[in-house]
Amino acid sequence: MPPSDPAALVLIIAQHLTINTSLPQSPIQSLSAQLINTAQAIMSSPIAFSAIEDNDYSYLYYARKNGSIAVLKSSTTQEGNDTKYTPTSVIVSGNTVSTSSTNISAVSYKDNNGNRQVRIYYISPAETGGFQLSELVQTNGGEFTQGELDNNSLACGENSLLSANVEFGKGDLKIFYQDTRGNPWVAWVVLGQTAWASHPLKPVPFKWQ
């Protein structure tokens, strides 16, 4: 059976052309290089993204085909024809961050002390097996760190949908997700605190209408 991943299929074709051909190598090598570049472009293309505004700049966080989380930052605070977006990987403690899922969700807000906050939610492997919700935290444009949510080991489905919301400076920060059976849950924390709580959306069992 051929692979279902188009990038993997393109790579296989490129390798086959390079190794198994009696044609002159220069045009074949050129075609193979083009196919490999195409495969790499596919593998770096986003499979999910979530946009925020922070300090008047736009940030588009996304998950690459290989699972690594990256961001596009606008070059201007006012969107225009000259605005460019520069990609960079999201780094924590010198390492790139990868998600186990195709879904991520990001929010930005100011806390009670006026500090700019950014949160990214994604899915990572759980130490006990399965998958859990994970959180990246950034304050005032500084370095990203792992959030307190990670210590709660909230189990979720590998391909859970994710959607976070927050109101500036007050109330709760919430992340909606799905458990291993696809049932919708919500986890929340009061702004300025670190104690997360969670429960399934009610009524249980929940039915979409």
Same domain, 190 and 177: yes
What is the rounded CA–CA span in Å between residue 158 and residue 125?
A: 9
Angle at 189 between CA 185 and CA 195, to 5 degrees: 110
Domain membership flag for residue 73: yes
Tell me the residue range of the domain where 11 lies.
Answer: 6-43
**Residue 30 CB partners (closer than 8 Å, separation 6+):** none
Main-chain phi, psi angles of 41, to 5 degrees: -65, -40
Same domain, 139 and 166: yes
pLDDT at 28: 58
Strands 170-178 and 163-167: antiparallel
Q: Evaluate if residue 8 carries a pLDDT over 60.
A: no
Domain membership flag for residue 206: no
Same domain, 125 and 142: yes
pLDDT above 90 as % of the chain: 66
What is the rounded CA–CA span in Å between residue 166 and residue 118?
A: 11
Same domain, 143 and 174: yes
Same domain, 31 and 57: no
Q: What is the mean pLDDT of residues 132-155?
A: 97
- The sign one gets for the Cα dihedral 12, 13, 15, 20 is positive
Domain membership flag for residue 208: no
pLDDT tens digits along 65-88 = 888 999 999 999 999 999 999 999
More confident of the two residues 33 and 189: 189
Same domain, 173 and 94: yes
Same domain, 37 and 53: no
18-22, 127-131, 205-209: the lowest-pLDDT one: 18-22
Q: Evaluate if residue 60 carries a pLDDT over 80.
A: yes
- The sign one gets for the Cα dihedral 86, 92, 95, 96 is negative
Q: How confident is the model at residue 46 (pLDDT cuts 50, 70, 90)?
A: confident
Same domain, 93 and 191: yes
- The sign one gets for the Cα dihedral 91, 96, 100, 103 is positive
Helix (H, G, I), strand (E, B) or coil at 18: helix
Q: How confident is the model at residue 1 (pLDDT cuts 50, 70, 90)?
A: very low
Same domain, 63 and 95: yes
Residue 112 CA to chain centroid, in angstroms? 27
